[in-house]
Structure 1
Amino acid sequence: MDRRSLGRYGEELAAGYLMNLGYEVIVRNWRCPLGEIDLICCDGPTLVFVEVRTRTSRRMGTPEESLDGRKKRKLHHLVQAFFLSPVRRRMLTHDYRIDFVAVELAPDRRTLRRITHIQNAF
């Protein structure tokens, strides 16, 4: 499994986890010229932008440690771009937050070790 496939697999696991919590996944991999938002969900009336990080070892740190200041700033710019997009104009809610989901897999890249969900991560 290459890096991109690993990321997509982690996003699938995160989406399933969030749906089990009652979230509605409304957009996957929303893209614009600035980049990509992994998942956009509704948690009741709140629009939730979700960054997913997947790791198979801690050699380069935990998924949480991979979310640096540069990525956080980029996510805030992506959220602003989303609010200006045609997709957003069809939604009625104005409340939003940014969540983070860390996915750790075993070295076999299939066995789930843990999923950690942080609401309102930054």
Structure 2
Amino acid sequence: MGALTRREVGAHGERVAEAHLVAAGAEVLDRNWRCRWGELDLVVRDGDALVGVEVRTRRTTAAGTPLESVTPLKVARLRRLLGLWCADHPARARAGRLRLDVVGVLLDAGGRASVQHVRGVEGA
């Protein structure tokens, strides 16, 4: 992946995660939804669940795996953001379970990605 910036690495990881989720049958409802309190990387529908997805991308595990970077504070913020997304999109949010997932993307030197998907994150 050479000299990509941190932002470019993150955007690449989000594309990889989205492709992974779509291949698993999820429908993407929103990408990079922002409000004054933060951002949801992806919002998807997975069966009857509305899912807020946090994507964490790393080029190395020197500072830990992508999944290890999700703290309890981050999970609490994501839970709040998913509720705000639902309030902002009532027609698209429709009744169903709410869930938080984390997708970790680890890129090797050649840019190949390995993906870990954790469904139903309660706290980190």
Match of 1:42, SS state, is strand
Structure 2: unaligned runs, 5 residues or longer: none
Aligned residues: CA RMSD? 1.2
Aligned counterpart for 2:98 among listed residues 96, 102, 106: 96
Partner of 2:5: 2
State the percentage of identical aligned residues. 36
Give the structure-2-normalised TM-score.
0.89
Structure 2 counterpart of 1:31, which letter?
Answer: R
Match of 2:76, SS state, is helix
Does structure 1 residue 34 correspond to structure 2 residue 37?
yes
CA contact (8 A) 2:75 2:121 kept: no
Counterpart CA distance in 1 for 2:45 and 2:86 is 15
- Structure 1 segment 1-122 matched on structure 2, within 5 A: 1-85=4-88, 88-91=89-92, 92-108=94-110, 110-112=111-113, 114-122=114-122
Task: Give the superposition deviation at 1:44.
Answer: 1.5
Task: Give the superposition deviation at 1:76.
Answer: 1.5
Provide runs of 4+ in structure 1 moved above 6 Å. Answer: none
The one-character-per-residue Cα deviations of 1:10-33 (angstroms, maximum 9, x if unpaired) are 010000001111111110011100
Counterpart CA distance in 1 for 2:16 and 2:56 is 11
Match of 2:56, SS state, is strand
Structure 1: unaligned runs, 5 residues or longer: none
CA contact (8 A) 2:10 2:56 kept: yes
The one-character-per-residue Cα deviations of 1:10-63 (angstroms, maximum 9, x if unpaired) are 010000001111111110011100010000001122111111100010111101
Task: Give the superposition deviation at 1:99.
Answer: 0.7
Give the structure-1-normalised TM-score.
0.90
Counterpart CA distance in 2 for 1:94 and 1:20 is 22
